[in-house]
Chain A
Amino acid sequence: ETGVTQSPTHLIKTRGQQVTLRCSSQSGHNTVSWYQQALGQGPQFIFQYYREEENGRGNFPPRFSGLQFPNYSSELNVNALELDDSALYLCASSLDPVTANYGYTFGSGTRLTVV
């Protein structure tokens, strides 16, 4: 069974640019969640996708958007990058978004630096 894979592992962007981060969920998992983790803090929930639709969102502005594809892989897009967007972005997949009987499997993350 494959785990969650994220790409790229590291990325440097300039303020104002746009970025796309990618995530392949664990085999058999149909739900993907994205988290932002600033240095020294716990991960903060950005949004969750289930069957290609967003079904939950945290306190992030609309310039953070996402997609989920029929194979349950996902993208996180961030427009108009700001310096404070520098963080580790984590993708997590799970089997069931509703009853939550299953935990999350996390990827290794993408380290985004905005300069």
Chain B
Amino acid sequence: KQEVTQIPAALSVPEGENLVLNCSFTDSAIYNLQWFRQDPGKGLTSLLLIQSSQREQTSGRLNASLDKSSGRSTLYIAASQPGDSATYLCAVRDTGGFKTIFGAGTRLFVKA
């Protein structure tokens, strides 16, 4: 059974700092891994999608890596801004079925 864990659960950093969010999964048989952002009480906004054959994806100040063999992904945020404050969720699409499994998220607060 696939399980997804995100560490840390919460993070507070000063503006301008570079930071890394971690995601681990127990079964390496995945189709892809997707990072999402969620603002309080809102839906999910897709940030980056990494296919199982890829090692990383970049979009602006965001870079996500995937190490399928070790069951790990990281989301790197450069030069953090107060507007980056949100919950960041990672989700894996495993090959055992059609569902996507989410982690519980990392709540990020960037202080001005």
Contacts and interface: CB of A to CB of B under 8 A. Distances in A.
Interface of A: 4, 6, 33, 35, 40-45, 48, 50, 55-56, 58, 88, 90, 92, 97-109, 111
Nearest to A45: B99
Given A42-B104, A101-B51, A104-B34, A109 B43 contact: yes
A112 to B, nearest CB: 13
B89 A33 contact: no
B43 A90 contact: yes
A90 B44 contact: yes
Contacts of A4: 43
Q: What bracket does the count of chain B residues touching chain A fall in?
A: 20 to 34
Contacts of A102: 49
Contacts of A92: 44
Given A41-B104, A104-B100, A106-B36, A111 B41 contact: yes
Contacts of A43: 44, 89, 91, 102
